[in-house]
Amino acid sequence: MAPTSWQKLKTTLQISHDYSVVPAGIRWRSNTFFIVSTVAVGLFTDLFLYGLVVPILPYMLQDRVGLPQDQVQSHVDGLLAAYAGASVVFSPVAGILADKTSTRQGPFLVGLIALLLATVLLFMANNIPTLVVARLLQGCSAAFVWTIGLALCVETVGKDNLGKTIGSIFSFISVGNLVAPLLGGVLYQRAGYAGVFGIGFAVLAIDFIMRLLVIEKKVARRYIVTSRGDSHESDTSNTNDEEATNNEEEPLLGSKSEDDYYIISKDQPAIVCKVPILPCLKNPRLITALVVAFVQALLLGAFDATIPTIGQEYFNFDSLKAGTLFLPLGVFDFVLGPIFGWVVDRFGTKVAAVGGYTFLVPCLVLLRLPHAGGKDQIILFAALLGLCGVGLAAIGAPSIVEAGNIVQKYYDVNPDFFGEKGPFASLYAMSSVAFCAGLAIGPEIAGELKQVIGYGNMNIVLAVICGLTAALSFFYIGGKPKMLRAG
């Protein structure tokens, strides 16, 4: 009964929409660059507003809420985890909703509304419960923005250019991580909360306008076909087919016997029929790709939770100076992101994943060297954070590209099982769950380890995790290594 009702609802919605009236500016609004830019701005806004409050959270908890100093770190960790935990819960909802709706724009706007409410609550908050609700709404927004934004991006650029595109987007949105903590510290010191959240609302306004204006390529084709008549439909279809051909991934394995591995039995439980991405989870490469995303986010969460407090404890920094410590971490991520994205497209996901996580091991180990002191210790700490930024830039794209490659293979072999739209929104929902789980656990692990065994030893633990992830990537990301395949 439910599928029939859903079909009736979809039919009603499609009939009620008039595609004969072409919107103004449809060409530039459905242009690849504008769509990707809209996704990038959406992701930027999410990270910008997330990072804007990171350096001032300790001061908000002390000045507004009145917490004693010894309770600040645990509450900072908890608020960071609340954001990520909500993202974990709502990412599957966003993926299912995106796969059920005819366009991505509606759910994309839902995420923005949640972010607006979260920002208002953060601006007004003077107690812990309000701060928690605000962070939960931020996490809900992130689930929709990341899941639907990445799915829209893949639909727009195709698989062949995904590494370069994701690398460029991550490079751009890293500006959010780079600028927001610094800007938050500056504005908090100079203009108070009004200054901090004023810039937040301005960024939200730009994001809102772009999300309203964007027109997906498949929607634009409906307008063009309807307005020009059926005679032009074949031209559009040919163009679309040509784009699909240009963007089609080469088979991951190639031979029919190997393709049999990706065949999904039609006799599946009811839950699989509702969430068809589930059978893909038997693939160790897909699981490893999700682990790579999880560890990447765990590192980001650890940095977010500990850098401001280390600035306070080691160097007696205020909110402004604590924000500047994120600069070296973000600069290298920003500059090198597109380059490593190109490396993924050109040489595959294994090189970037293994190389990036291996490089991070000594960088994290060396973070045990800085200690409380003056200018020399500040320079040492900043330089090591810069090296960590290089590693973070390398591990940005491999997970998304690898996961997309694997699921594309399943889709190619089982097109009827997944349906016309495929399982890609659900895939990026799972990626979002993995990433947000890392963001949730990272601050908790880092905060607890920092208090129990010290900051230097905490980074040793993170280095071990990176080493294990590098080994896992070597064996599974991008397929079995050639040296093992030959045997």
Report the b/e string of 196-211 with b at 16+ CB within 10 A: bbebbeebbeebbebb
User: pTM for this structure?
Assistant: 0.72
Residue 380, C-beta contacts closer than 8 angstroms, at least 6 positions apart: 369, 370
By the 8 A CB rule, do 61 and 188 touch? Answer: no
pLDDT for the residue numbered 426: 77
Closest among 118, 440, 102 to 304, alpha carbons compared: 440
Give me the DSSP letters along 327-365. HHHHHHHHHHHHHHHHHHHHH-HHHHHHHHHHHHHHHHH
Q: Where are the domains of the chain?
A: 28-229+275-486
Residue 74, C-beta contacts closer than 8 angstroms, at least 6 positions apart: 447
- Tell me the per-residue pLDDT of 352-393, one tens digit each, with 9 for 90 and over: 999 999 999 999 999 988 887 778 888 999 899 999 989 988
Q: Per CATH, is 28-229+275-486 categorized as 1.20.1250.20?
A: yes
pLDDT for the residue numbered 160: 63
Residues of the chain where predicted confidence (pLDDT) is lower than 50: 1-16, 230-255, 487
pLDDT for the residue numbered 20: 63
Report the b/e string of 256-273 with b at 16+ CB within 10 A: eeeeeebebeeeeeeeee
pLDDT for the residue numbered 194: 78
pLDDT for the residue numbered 420: 67
Write the DSSP symbol of residue 480.
S
- Tell me the per-residue pLDDT of 230-285, one tens digit each, with 9 for 90 and over: 444 444 444 444 443 333 334 444 445 556 777 887 777 777 767 778 888 888 99
Neighbours of 326 (CB within 10 A): 28
pLDDT for the residue numbered 466: 95
